[in-house]
Amino acid sequence: MKIALLNPPYLPGFSRFSRSPAVTRSGTIYYPIWHAYAAGLLEREGHEVMLIDAPAQRLTMTDCLSLIKDFSPGMTAVYTSTPSIVNDIECAAAIKIIMPSSFMALTGPHVSALPDQTLSMDERIDAVAIGEYDLTLLELASTIESGGDIDGVPGLVIRTNGKVEPTAARAHIEDLDSLPFVSSVYKRHARIEDYFYAHCRYPVVSIFTSRGCNARCDYCVYPQTVFGRRHRQRSPENIVEEFRYIEKELPQTKEVLIDDDTFSFDKAHTLEFAELMIRSRVKLPWTVECRANLDFETLSAMKRAGCRLVVAGFESADDAILRNIKKGITVERMRRFALDARRAGIMIHACFMAGNRGETMETLKRTLAFAKEIRPDTCQFFPLMVYPGTEAYAWARGNGYLESEDFPDWLTPEGLHNCLVSTPELSARELVEFCDFARRSFYLAPGYISYKVRRLLAEPREMRRTAKSARIFLKHLMSGNKVKDAA
């Protein structure tokens, strides 16, 4: 069967596959990673797949419609996001107009959280594939091709006899080694130079080595809507084999991004992976998403295995707030992690949030001071963005803190994050203004500028990545609103 997988057009540079979809200040463009994993599985089972990534390929809706019409798929899957959902459904409906016989399914965290509401928005949408949809699309394609009943396919919410009904729930994939390498799908369907992650060397290849997360953070969207709160990992051997594949088949790659929700829950697994990377003589450097609680032994092993940088969510420097959001880490533990990472020679990209439960201007000041204290290589400050299906969204909506429930309002007209959470202590505007101020205060500090110049002189390979992101980031850095007495 012919199957079209579409990341539809929206705003220029829009990263729909990000955990917090938007046009980024640094110019980051995410891979269409979940569509790519599904494409690999479908192709392995004999289906013919067209993977279209409109934002990365700079395609208009007219371009996409022309490609899909010429391809004539029996099934189309459109990836969606919260801020773009109205646009995404319009795109799906436009495809159904020219290809009425093509079964139309929507995927992504937003529609997984709100399938009934989604299907009520346009009757031309046939189904929503809930959560982890690789096997769902595979079974759905086989069922459509054989003329079977789709109500027997687990993992769907479908329109049947004028009603919207769920099929049986689908269990998560346990054997992640059974999935094809996503990098092999990129080789067939993408141009890796079209993708850019500001904290990674360019060009970068993004992969996942696990799904699900044992942590209970109330804001994190993937574990709560797609992959579940139980960590499942690929074997160290399977991960290293993909690194070797990338070295051979995508030799222009300068770095691999392991973009897991949390890579390092299992210390023994992390150490085994590091040792196998060393023994296999893999030369590619890598960046990884992890919790801010790794010990020195683990960080040192990761460094020897080629880890260049870790991305860690610190969120706040107030222990009460960390408890409120179920972060499961203390400020002191995060401080020790930052010191151990520096001692191991690994850089940190630190992530902070403004506006979580219990936030005040005093706690925001404390967080900014902490960010400067731990001296990460790069740092981001974002106001709280709440998404359907998360506890944070239910908290904000239930308390009347949402300024709007119109999903396109999740972005500014330029496509940047638009905070909509106003609490009795802090308005959404104050949170945005603080984040603008915090970025300027951090990046324009003489000490940071001096550090960055020294680092670029010591490691000229960092120059290209830094220059590429700085061209866009500096424009946003200098245009933010000012906050008086914020630090």
The tens digit of pLDDT for each residue in 308-363 reads 999 999 999 999 999 999 999 999 999 999 999 999 999 999 999 999 999 999 99
Give a yes or no: residue 341 inside a domain: yes
Please say whether the beta carbons of 392 and 367 come within 8 A. Answer: no
Same domain, 94 and 197: no
Q: Sorting pLDDT into bands at 50, 70 and 90, what band is 485? A: very low
Q: What is the pLDDT of residues 94-132, one digit of tens each?
A: 999 999 999 999 999 999 999 999 999 999 999 999 999
| 39 in the same domain as 76 | yes
CA distance 116 to 163: 10
Say if 486 falls within a structural domain.
Answer: no
Residue 485 lies in a domain: no
Instruction: Please indicate, yes or no, whether the overall pTM of this predicted structure exceeds 0.85.
Output: yes
Closest CA to 356 of 426, 290, 446: 426
Examine the domain organization and report whether 445 and 301 are in the same domain.
yes
| Overall residue count recorded for the chain in this entry | 487
Distances 429 to 31, 362, 376 between C-alpha atoms, Å: 31, 16, 27
Look at residue 487 in the predicted model and tell me its pLDDT. 37
The CATH code of the domain that includes 136 is 3.40.50.2300
Same domain assignment for residues 387 and 355: yes
Evaluate whether residue 437 is within a structural domain.
Answer: yes
For residues 196 and 120, state if they share a domain: no
Q: What per-residue confidence (pLDDT) applies to 25?
A: 85
**Same domain, yes or no: 330 and 453:** yes
Q: What is the pLDDT of residue 459?
A: 74
Boundary-marking domain end, from 127, 146, 166: 166
pLDDT in tens, 258-292: 999 999 899 999 999 999 999 999 999 999 999 99
Using CA atoms, how far apart are residues 184 and 264, in angstroms rounded to an integer? 24
Residues 256 and 391 in one domain: yes
Residue 102 lies in a domain: yes
**Do 261 and 235 belong together in one domain?**
yes
**What is d(CA 406, CA 260) in angstroms, rounded to the nearest whole number?**
30
Q: Is residue 156 part of a domain?
A: yes
CB 140 within 8 A of CB 74: no
155 alpha carbon, distance to own chain's centre: 22
Within a domain: residue 438? yes
Residues 186 and 123 in one domain: no
| Residue ranges making up the domain that contains 140 | 2-166
